[in-house]
Amino acid sequence: MHHYVGLIVLFPLIGLIVNGLFGRHIRSERVVGWIGSLAVGIPFLVAAAILYGMLGSPVEERSNTVTLFTWIAAGSFQVNAAYQVDQLSILMTLIVTGVGFLIHVYSIGYMHGDRGFWRFFTYLNLFIFAMLNLVLADNYVLMFLGWEGVGLCSYLLIGFWYEKKFAGTSITWTGDAANKAFWVNRIGDFAFMLGMFLIFREFGSLTFSTVMDSASSLAPGNSTMFWITLLLFIGATGKSAQIPLFVWLPDAMAGPTPVSALIHAATMVTAGVYMVARNSLLYALAPDTMMIVAVIGALTAIVAASIGLAQNDIKKVLAYSTVSQLGYMFLALGVGAFTAGIFHVMTHAFFKACLFLGSGSVIHAMHEEQDIRKMGGLAPVMPKTYYTFLISSFAIAGFPPLSGFFSKDEILWSAFSQGSVLLWAVGALAALMTAFYMFRMVTLTFLGTPRWAKDKHPHESPPTMTIPLIVLAFLAVTGGFLGIPAALGGGNALHHWLHPVFERALDRLPTAHEYSHMTEYLFMLVSVVIGVSGFWFGRKIYLANPDADDTFAAKAGGVFRTLSRKYYIDEGYMRGIVNPLVATSDRFLSRVVDTALIDGFVNGLAKVTASFSGVLRLVQTGVVQSYASMIVVGLLLVLGLILLG
Amino acid sequence: MIPISHYLILSAVMFTIGCAGVLTRRNAIIIFMCIELMLNSVNLTFVAFSAYLGDSAGQIIVFFVMAVAAAEAAVGLAIVLALFRNKKSVDINDVNILKW
Amino acid sequence: MTFETILFYVLALAGIVSALLVITRRNPMHAALFLIVNFVALAGIYLTLHAQFVAITQVLVYAGAIMVLVLFVIMLLNLQNEQDLFEKRSWRSYSGPILSLLLLALLLRTVAFVSGGSFDRISPESERIGTVANIGQQLFTAFVFPFEMASLLLLAAMVGAVILAKKRFP
């Protein structure tokens, strides 16, 4: 079955071409929308068929490479357009196409009546195409192509409503937000490229299997491995919004909500997690980087979660929540629980996509209002949105037996058993904050008395929007059953499925301490208590007083303001990095280096040439006879050289 | 019998005379005629070699040279006509706009 | 001294003298007439080489067609003598003859290489290859493609001449 992997990538490409070239002339929104959706839906079915084929074959035969054509051949360096179909990539493909399909269908309803309807679906298909190349690539170069491709789509879609205003630090319209995302990602991409070069220098190849085979003979603690993995991780911090490069993601909410759901929650931002997991063996050989990954992950989780406590824009809350959840994933990868990280990628894709789409439904109903302080009491008006949103909130807060409970608990347990108590404590605190801000948001948005203006008439969204919500909510409930831990009597199917991919990496990691099931139960109980208390406080405080934020601001003004201003990180970057860079560019690079030195050199060269030619052009008299004389002189020289020389 | 070198010397002398004419004369039509002179001296070389080596290719080439010369005469004289019409002169020193 | 030898030297002398007269006459009409003399002399020299076809074409095409065209243009333009040839001397009127003499020296040096063997006497084949029959056969068999190209060239030249000589450029 794996031979058909090319089809998975082909369909989004077809959709992209059809909608991109002819979409403008297709009058019917439905046709455009369904072309775009099916271009993602059919690959999902193909991927499912491939998965079925893999389930029916023995473990050793599940990983295959399909080479389509030779892309770059230069001497001994060869890069193929080849797709690696294995347990990890097919899982990612299913997530990308499955969630992607639902979000495409949702967009048909959400983008109804938009001037750039066909453009939107073209970009979405382009994104899916690039993302599939990223996850299916069998080498770093093709992966990088997808990596840059999704970055481009992210840029295009953040600035999709390019004439719209968008407020932020040094940001006045959506184009600024798109530029910010692009530039911040560039830093990470540059590091990724450096890592790639280092890999090529070290292993002489950029194909995953070759690199991994050569790497498996190395001993852990190699300094080159440290730099390779660190550079790749810096690449991941850009794409996956980790400290210190996470600042672009909250501003990426300038894009349409389905984009936030698809690119900035479910798929693209998890590319970094996937990339680290794909290189798990290299990371296992660099324990120092693993430590950095874990610490950065935990820090991001708690910093982003705490900022999320004080945000009032419904999408901003979800954005910081995404950053925080991505932090969890890196925490898992850092302590060596690769499966747990990928598990959380999957469950997070379900519930976060559902939450974003739900928020989109709310924004749609409130006529582009995003401030949760101006909502309230929407539950009776839009029950489907409310209940799916609520279920997903429970899932992200870690209520058993919803999906978020299993994945988050596995991460926290790994952080404790394979990492340290400190990492666990940070993660647990972030989980408490997560539950709190989620239910603060649910309460402010859906419960209590309506605070919206009388002229607004909220309504439930059309079926193209609610059906994806229901499907995603269902997945958010059931998705966790793939990874029920052994302590609860589950088989942890996902763990066994992915084990062959991470086998060599896990062999090189120190074995985890063995703890009794009692300890594990205790930690689960703590997780549940954390989730429930966050839920209880968030609901109680904000149900009783929707303006509780004002009370906090009055009592702990400094702390509250720091949180709502995002620790002044954006301001710090502006003052510490951007402004000095701009000033240096303007005053030194532009005026001194460019204008004086480079222009001076180039213009000087031109002037010297001009003055020489001023002399030389006197030879060009315009009289044909003098040219003929020169021909004869040349003839004489040639003849003389031959005869006398 | 006459050795071939005599023919070749005659050809060289005529070629040089034509060349000197091209380089010194200022009347465009005379320059044109000097070019014909040079072409003819080359034709003589071709024919001489053709006869001494017993190869007919030399005379065939002379035929083509004549065809080219005829074409050149037609176009060249048309250019001289157009030139005269614009400049009221056929002195090539008056035609020096082919610069800079 | 056979008759042919004497004929060659007489014709060669006529050719060189007429060529010198071509480049020294101030009146273009005189120059053109001496050029015709030169062409006829060359046609005679071709005959000493048994090149009958070339000799005939030389008279027909050069002395006939081309020179008639030249004379026609000279008369049409009513050209006067080159009055100021010796008044406005430029560096070219000195450099031209010097360069030409240098060129002649080198060319004669080249001619010195060609001697001995078959270069001493005319090939017996020459009586056959110079005939109209042989040249015609060669032109329409081995050289048929260049022959057709030459006809295209003449057509193009004709069109070009008509366009250039028109009163006003479109």
Q: Report chain A residues whose CB lies below 8 A from the CB of C109.
A: 643
Residue A571 is encoded by which pair of tokens?
């301001």
Res. A334 pLDDT band, cuts 50 70 90: very high
Res. A391 pLDDT band, cuts 50 70 90: very high
3-state secondary structure of A504: helix
Cβ contact C126–B54 (<8 Å): yes
Quick check: A511 pLDDT over 90? Answer: no
> Could you write out the DSSP letters of every residue in A352-388?
HHHHHHHHHHHHHHTTS--BGGG----TTT-HHHHHH
If you measure CA to CA, which chain B residue comes closest to C52? Answer: B59
Q: Are A390 and A447 in contact (CB under 8 A)?
A: no
Residue B86 lies in a domain: yes
CA A577/CA A170 separation, integer angstroms: 13
Q: Is residue C67 located within the same domain as residue C135?
A: no
Number of domains into which chain C is organized = 2
Q: Are A76 and A84 in contact (CB under 8 A)?
A: no
Amino acid at C149: M
For residue B86, the distance in angstroms to the closest alpha carbon of chain C comes to 10
CA A115/CA A162 separation, integer angstroms: 12
CA A487/CA A631 separation, integer angstroms: 97
> Angle at the Cα of C131 (from C125 to C132), degrees rounded to 5?
150
For residue C96, the distance in angstroms to the closest alpha carbon of chain B comes to 5
Among residues C46, C80, C114, the one where a domain terminates is C80
Domain containing C166 equals 131-170
Number of domains into which chain B is organized = 1
Residue C61 lies in a domain: yes
For residue C140, the distance in angstroms to the closest alpha carbon of chain B comes to 11
Residue C6 lies in a domain: yes
What b/e sequence results for B7-46 when a residue is b if at least 16 CB atoms lie within 10 Å of its CB, and e otherwise? bbbbbbbbbbbbbbbbbbbbbbbbbbbbbbbbbbbbbbbb
pLDDT of residue C59: 92
Q: What would the mean pLDDT of A246-271 be, rounded to a whole number? A: 91
Q: Count other C-beta atoms under 10 Å from residue A459's C-beta.
A: 10
* B23 in contact with C, Cβ within 8 Å: yes
Pick the closest to residue C106 from A639, B42, A633, B23 (CA basis).
Answer: A639
Residue C21 lies in a domain: yes
Neighbours of chain A (3+ CB pairs under 8 A): B, C
> Angle at the Cα of C62 (from C56 to C63), degrees rounded to 5?
85
pLDDT of residue C84: 53
C96, C103, C110: residue with CB nearest A636: C103
- Say which residue, A170 or A570, is predicted with more confidence: A570
pLDDT of residue A626: 84
pLDDT of residue C82: 60
DSSP β-ladder status, A171-173 and A165-168:
antiparallel
* A629 in contact with C, Cβ within 8 Å: yes
Cβ contact B96–A628 (<8 Å): no
pLDDT single digits (tens) A552-582: 888 887 888 888 888 888 888 888 888 999 9
Q: What would the mean pLDDT of A108-133 be, rounded to a whole number? A: 92
Q: Report chain B residues whose CB lies below 8 A from the CB of C126.
A: 50-52, 54
* B2 in contact with C, Cβ within 8 Å: yes
Q: Report chain A residues whose CB lies below 8 A from the CB of C110.
A: 639, 643
Q: What would the mean pLDDT of A208-235 be, rounded to a whole number? A: 90
* A636 in contact with C, Cβ within 8 Å: yes
Q: Is residue C137 located within the same domain as residue C75?
A: no
Q: Are A323 and A249 in contact (CB under 8 A)?
A: yes
Residue B37 lies in a domain: yes
CA A538/CA A555 separation, integer angstroms: 18
Dihedral pair phi/psi, residue A327, rounded to 5°: -60, -45
ipTM of model: 0.91
- Count of CB contacts below 8 A, B vs C? 242
Residue C118 lies in a domain: no
Q: Report chain B residues whose CB lies below 8 A from the CB of C15.
A: 10, 14
> Could you write out the DSSP letters of every residue in A47-98?
HHHHHHHHHTS-GGGS-EEEEEEEEEEETTEEEEEEEEESHHHHHHHHHHHH
Pick the closest to residue A341 from A321, A327, A355 (CA basis).
Answer: A327
Domain containing B63 equals 4-94
Tell me which residues of chain B, numbers 18 to 57, contact chain A at a CB-CB cutoff of 8 Å.
19, 22-23, 26, 31
Dihedral pair phi/psi, residue A509, rounded to 5°: -90, 150
Residue C50, domain CATH: 1.20.120.1200
Residue B12, domain CATH: 1.10.287.3510
Residues 6+ apart with CB under 8 A from A369: A363, A375, A452, A456
3-state SS string for A427-439: HHHHHHHHHHHHH
Res. A350 pLDDT band, cuts 50 70 90: very high
> Angle at the Cα of A178 (from A148 to A21), degrees rounded to 5?
65
Quick check: A338 pLDDT over 70? Answer: yes
Tell me which residues of chain A, numbers 229 to 268, contact chain C at a CB-CB cutoff of 8 Å.
none
| DSSP-derived secondary structure letter, A491 | -
CA A428/CA A412 separation, integer angstroms: 7
Residue C93 lies in a domain: no
Place of tokens 């991927």: A47
pLDDT of residue B42: 95
- Say which residue, B86 or A534, is predicted with more confidence: A534
CA A436/CA C138 separation, integer angstroms: 103
Cβ contact B36–C74 (<8 Å): no
What b/e sequence results for C36-58 when a residue is b if at least 16 CB atoms lie within 10 Å of its CB, and e otherwise? bbbbbbbbbbbbbbbbbbbbebb
- Mean pLDDT is lowest, of A27-31, A489-493, A496-500, B58-62, for A489-493
> Angle at the Cα of B29 (from B23 to B34), degrees rounded to 5?
45
Residue A132 is encoded by which pair of tokens?
């599939």
Residue B47 is encoded by which pair of tokens?
């024919």
Pick the closest to residue A272 from A321, A329, A325 (CA basis).
Answer: A329
Q: Residue ranges of chain C with pLDDT lower than 70?
A: 1, 80-89, 168-170
CA A151/CA A26 separation, integer angstroms: 28
Q: Count other C-beta atoms under 10 Å from residue A70's C-beta.
A: 11
pLDDT single digits (tens) A454-490: 778 888 888 889 999 999 999 999 988 888 887 777 7
Q: What are the distances in angstroms from CA A58 to CA A55, A63, A92, A492? A: 8, 10, 21, 19
Whether cis (ω within 30° of 0) applies to the bond prior to C97 is no
Q: What are the distances in angstroms from CA A444 to CA A323, A448, A536, B83? A: 22, 7, 14, 92
Q: Are A408 and A344 in contact (CB under 8 A)?
A: yes
Residue C126 lies in a domain: no
Alpha-carbon radius of gyration of chain A: 29
CA A550/CA A36 separation, integer angstroms: 45
Residue C119 lies in a domain: no
CA A120/CA A156 separation, integer angstroms: 9
| DSSP-derived secondary structure letter, C141 | T
CA A411/CA A327 separation, integer angstroms: 11
Cβ contact A636–C102 (<8 Å): yes
Residue C123 lies in a domain: no
Q: What would the mean pLDDT of B40-45 be, rounded to a whole number? A: 95
Which uninterrupted H or E stretch holds A165?
strand A165-168
Neighbours of chain B (3+ CB pairs under 8 A): A, C
Q: Where are the beta strands (DSSP E) in chain C?
A: none
Tell me which residues of chain C, numbers 7 to 46, contact chain B at a CB-CB cutoff of 8 Å.
8, 12, 15-16, 19-20, 22-23, 28, 31-32, 35, 38-39, 42, 45-46
Neighbours of chain C (3+ CB pairs under 8 A): A, B
Q: What would the mean pLDDT of A30-56 be, rounded to a whole number? A: 92
Quick check: A542 pLDDT over 80? Answer: yes
- Mean pLDDT is lowest, of A81-95, A107-121, A391-405, C67-81, for C67-81
* Mean pLDDT taken over chain A: 90
If you measure CA to CA, which chain B residue comes closest to A626? Answer: B23
Residue B100 lies in a domain: no
3-state secondary structure of B32: helix
